[in-house]
Amino acid sequence: IFISLILIIPSLVFASNFSITWSMLADSSLEIICTSLSGGLDFVFVLDTTGSMYGDIDSALAYLDDFADSMDALGIDYAFGLVTYGDGWNFPHGYNLTESADTFSMWLLPIGSAGGADAPEEALDAIMAAVDSIDWRTGTIRIIILITDACFCQRTSTCTRYCHSSWMPAEVRDTLLAENIILFVATPSHISCSSCAGTGTWALNWYRNMAETTGGAWFNLYSNFGAIYDSILEMIDTTENIILQFVNTETDTIETLYATINVGSCITIDSGTTIETTLTVEPGETVTFEWVVEFSSGCSGRNACFGVVIWSGSDTLRRFGCLTRADCECPLIPVWIACPESCPQLTSCADQIMIFGVYDSTGAGIDTANVYIRRVTTSGMSYVPLSQLDFYTFGDTTFITVHGSFGDGDTITLHFDSLFTTQGCKMPPW
């Protein structure tokens, strides 16, 4: 009988006869960081201050203190910023944010509403000004709240007298997604628009779709603003930011780096594309890939977990995490071949055994109902049923014995594909 045991877990294999091919994507250079939205929030209000908006600005201000009080009660670290616009845009209080709700209220209090000689306004440019010019704090979730009762002009609009835009809607969308900025929008359920804008009623659909695409929401401007703030707080409670941080520790430049994420059934990707791309990573450079996800409250186990993969050419690295874990990233659990490496020579007896060792130094706990070992014989491939696996735990080590009945001359190859911890973490490969 010829028996081959294979572990498809690069750099975690302890077997002396197993060779490892090192890739330029060093294992130590990849880290998963998860942050809840309650960890730090930067809100920038982008306000349409044209003549018809006076009462709506007052409404946004009236409930602001309650909104801040609710965030204080939740222990949320927040800051506010302001951009105003109409036919043009400006920063009435500079580019810095304030961490004081009272100060922000004072910023809003004297804002008047005037101008806006035609229906479209420069909302796209005001959003981009907020993205590019506001001094966002490091490591926070960035949220823009757009409040308007008008459509917008775009670069191709012909409103030459009052509304001049440098942007197209798709460019603004791509920028918000690339920067992982969440957009909330409050508009009327019907907005009029001058024909020169070239957007018509489609502008309302863009407001709605853009908010949902970035992980935010659209609200009716004439609803209770307190309800709008409450909805934002509800979203904050079930949203996480997954950050994949990669450092090029090698001496060579990585020409193209890709990253993708696979999520359990309790997780929904709100912003960030499924596959993210960074073109060039210089030696020593750090790059991040980010996804904002919504997490179903009360979910546990494998459905609350996710896997991330980065690759360049044929080199691949994987990491796994669960949103139920305090530190998010799943521990790396080494697996090695315990037998036949250190066992007596196998014979042609009917009952042969192979043993894998699993070292769980983190105390994650091995879910023995979810261990996947692939067996390849001349008859084909199948996963070894649990009835042919025995588990014995000694300290932090679990030994997995694989039984099978084989005949003389058979060739058997075992692939240790994956296992799960009791929290739902999956060990590679995904």
Q: Is 301 left (phi over 0), alpha (psi -120 to 50) or beta?
A: left
Report the C-alpha gap between 356 and 234 in whole angstroms.
46
Degrees, nearest 5: CA angle 253-259-263: 160
Six-digit token string for 401: 């014995």
> How far, in whole angstroms, is CA 301 from its chain's centroid?
19
- Per-residue confidence (pLDDT) for residue 342, from 0 to 100: 58
> How far, in whole angstroms, is CA 2 from its chain's centroid?
45
Q: What is the pLDDT along the chain (430 residues), one digit of tens a residue?
A: 444 454 443 333 333 333 323 345 655 578 888 877 656 889 999 999 887 787 787 888 788 888 888 888 878 889 999 999 977 788 989 999 999 988 988 888 877 654 444 568 899 999 999 999 999 998 788 999 999 988 998 898 888 777 888 999 999 999 998 888 999 999 999 887 888 887 767 899 999 999 988 888 899 988 878 888 888 888 777 778 888 888 988 888 888 899 999 999 999 887 766 787 888 889 889 988 888 888 887 788 888 999 998 988 888 888 889 988 877 888 888 888 777 665 555 554 555 668 888 888 888 888 999 999 988 888 889 999 999 999 999 888 899 988 877 676 777 788 888 888 888 888 764 4
Q: Name all domains of the chain by residue range, CATH numbers in brackets.
A: 2-18+333-421 (2.60.40), 38-237 (3.40.50.410), 239-313 (no CATH)
- Per-residue confidence (pLDDT) for residue 12, from 0 to 100: 32
Report the C-alpha gap between 257 and 281 in whole angstroms.
8
Peptide bond into 428 cis (omega under 30): no
pTM above 0.85, yes or no: no
User: What phi and psi values does residue 202 have, to the nearest 5 degrees?
Assistant: -60, -25
Report the C-alpha gap between 131 and 180 in whole angstroms.
10
Degrees, nearest 5: CA angle 189-194-200: 50
Question: Which strand (E) or helix (H) includes residue 322?
Answer: strand 315-322
> Using CB atoms within 10 A of its CB, is residue 333 exposed (0-12), middle (13-18) or buried (19+)?
buried
One DSSP character per residue, 106-169 reads HHHTT-------SS-B-HHHHHHHHHHHS-PPTTPEEEEEEE-SS-B--TT---TTT---S--H
- Per-residue confidence (pLDDT) for residue 10, from 0 to 100: 33
- Per-residue confidence (pLDDT) for residue 80, from 0 to 100: 94
Position 279, amino acid: L
Residue 199's alpha-carbon distances to 66, 86, 124, 193, 246, in angstroms, are 36, 17, 12, 8, 41
- Per-residue confidence (pLDDT) for residue 351, from 0 to 100: 57
